[in-house]
Amino acid sequence: MKSEIHPKYYPECQIIFRGEVVMTVGATVPQMNVEIWSGSHPFFTGQKTFVDTLGRVERFQKKFAGKYFDNKKK
């Protein structure tokens, strides 16, 4: 096995969710920032939450607002 082609392995990689460390795993990066975590996901918690990543909902609403579908050729 070639020793110079493999990425560096970090056995103490910290997973960070909303500014706090939620778990430690082994990975090829020393730290990961995640937006969705099983501790906050509605499937696991049973609570409904609204996640808007980078204004995607607003962009969708702005794009399809008004007479967007009226201008399409049939």
pLDDT of amino acid 1: 67
Within a domain: 58: yes
For residue 66, give the 3-state DSSP assignment.
coil
For residue 72, give the 3-state DSSP assignment.
coil
Within a domain: 2: no
Within a domain: 21: yes
Task: Evaluate whether 41 touches 19 at the Cβ level (below 8 Å).
Answer: no
Tell me which residue range forms the domain holding 27: 10-66
pLDDT of amino acid 57: 75
pLDDT of amino acid 46: 72
Within a domain: 1: no
Tens digit of each residue's pLDDT (9 = 90 or more) over 6-60: 889 999 999 998 888 989 999 999 999 988 877 777 677 777 666 666 777 777 8
Within a domain: 40: yes
User: Which pTM does this prediction carry?
Assistant: 0.50
For residue 18, give the 3-state DSSP assignment.
coil
Domain count, the chain: 1
Within a domain: 44: yes
Q: Rounded to whole angstroms, how far apart are CA atoms 56 and 62?
A: 10
Within a domain: 72: no
pLDDT category at 74 given cuts 50, 70, 90 is: low
Within a domain: 46: yes
